[in-house]
Amino acid sequence: MRPSIFRFFRCHLRHNSASFSSGASLVSASSSGQNITASHLNGSSSKMYSTSCESEDSSKDRAISDMLIDSFGRLHTYLRISLTERCNLRCHYCMPAEGVELTPSSRLLSQDEIVRLASLFVSSGVNKIRLTGGEPTIRKDIEELCLQLSNLKGLKTLAMTTNGITLGKKLPKLKDAGLNLVNISLDTLVPAKFEFMTRRKGHERVMESIDAAVKLGYDPVKVNCVVMRGFNDDEICDFVELTRKRPINVRFIEFMPFDGNVWNVKKLVPYAELLDKVGEKFTGLQRIQDHPTETAKNFRIDGHQGSVSFITSMTEHFCAGCNRLRLLADGNFKVCLFGPSEVSLRDPIRLGEGDDKLREIIGAAVKRKKASHAGMFDIAKTPNRPMIHIGG
């Protein structure tokens, strides 16, 4: 596909998908009893989704490999790499109560294998890598790994999603190693509830990690909060207060189904309801113009240094602009978070295959990616891995 045709198709697809998704989601929310008001649209439906094309500069920087373009014209420039299946917390929505069977260490990707695959993706057009887990900071080689990845020519952003338990002490060296974006998971501001949710102590250390990230100049410091009815939905406005005087971006995430997390739609607090709660308490809530590939719906609040976002995977999916791929700790490659399909990249590496064969395998998997994931009730019935295996 020629670049000019690709750019036109990508823009056209996003424009029409955005219009359809916006209308469909409003009808769905209305029919389910959600109170959708003009305040949700901030006075203009055009602010619900950005329909502008990506800058053409990215494709001029270096050649974009066809391996990253799916059959719907979506260009995948964002790779999430799970570094480990191990974690120092046991969060209810991530890990079953009985725990998970861990992959033997010999079957996990080595540092060299991770760097090789990352280099292959970046040389093909990926410009953002996010390190996940498990808990990525428990890897002993995390600083060296960050240094190697950040030095890949063409990589613009090296990010990490972490639970923050050990981040505070390691963050200065990680920043020096090239980590330039950090997301810290925190689902409650109440220590006792934190211990219940994570089955571990450590709330104070997570708060200290957020403080450390702010002091080190990360802007924004992203705080991920999975909202569950009856557990932390009464803390929404308390989380928003974190954004008043500091460059914190609080990201409210709809509760999603994965194997073993006992998902129930009654626990789901939909975006429309979350937005109502924030809008009732805080004046001057304004929608930010989002990039076409943005997963979140982003808002600023008058007088707040930080911002608030909503990740609406269940009630208003953003599949039309998806640019994300996933590399799991065991070397399996996954093109959709909610899709069960995986293909091993570890095995061909260990069989001595070259980069051309790896590109062929990756490209074929990307071409098989569907237009969108299934609805939340179908996802709940579809076999998939626990979140700790997939990577947050």
pLDDT in tens, 352-387: 999 999 999 999 999 999 887 555 545 555 555 555
- Reference 218, options 230, 229, 207, 210; nearest CA is 210
Alpha carbon distance 241, 339 (integer Å):
36
30 part of a folded domain: no
Residue 82 scores a pLDDT above 60: yes
Determine if the peptide bond prior to 3 is cis (ω within 30°). no
Exposed / middle / buried, residue 44 (Cβ in 10 Å: 0-12, 13-18, 19+):
exposed
101 part of a folded domain: yes
Phi-psi region of 288 (alpha: psi -120 to 50; beta: other; left: phi over 0): beta
Instruction: Please report, for the domain that includes residue 296, its CATH number.
Output: 3.20.20.70
Question: Which two tokens mark 5?
Answer: 């045709």
- Reference 256, options 317, 201, 218, 313; nearest CA is 313
Q: What is the pTM of this model?
A: 0.81
5 part of a folded domain: no
Query: In terms of pLDDT, which residue wins out, 35 or 348?
Result: 348
47 part of a folded domain: no
What is the mean pLDDT of the segment spanning 163-192?
A: 96
314 part of a folded domain: yes
| Pick from 114-118, 120-124, 147-151, 383-387: least confident | 383-387
pLDDT range class, residue 262, cuts 50, 70, 90? low
Overall number of domains in the chain: 1
Question: 237 and 282 in contact (C-beta within 8 Å)?
Answer: yes
Alpha carbon distance 316, 305 (integer Å):
27
Phi-psi region of 259 (alpha: psi -120 to 50; beta: other; left: phi over 0): beta
User: In which domain, by residue range, is 307 found?
Assistant: 70-389
Q: According to the model, what pLDDT value does residue 316 have?
A: 85
- Reference 28, options 279, 318, 374, 314; nearest CA is 314
User: What is residue 181's three-state secondary structure?
Assistant: strand
Q: According to the model, what pLDDT value does residue 199 have?
A: 79
| Pick from 315-319, 333-337, 378-382: least confident | 378-382
Q: According to the model, what pLDDT value does residue 339 have?
A: 74
Q: According to the model, what pLDDT value does residue 234 have?
A: 97
What is the mean pLDDT of the segment spanning 125-137?
A: 95
Distances (CA, A) of 278 to 241, 250, 269, 358: 10, 12, 13, 46
- Reference 326, options 167, 163, 161; nearest CA is 161
40 part of a folded domain: no
Residue 7 scores a pLDDT above 60: no
Q: According to the model, what pLDDT value does residue 388 have?
A: 58
Q: According to the model, what pLDDT value does residue 47 have?
A: 32
46 part of a folded domain: no
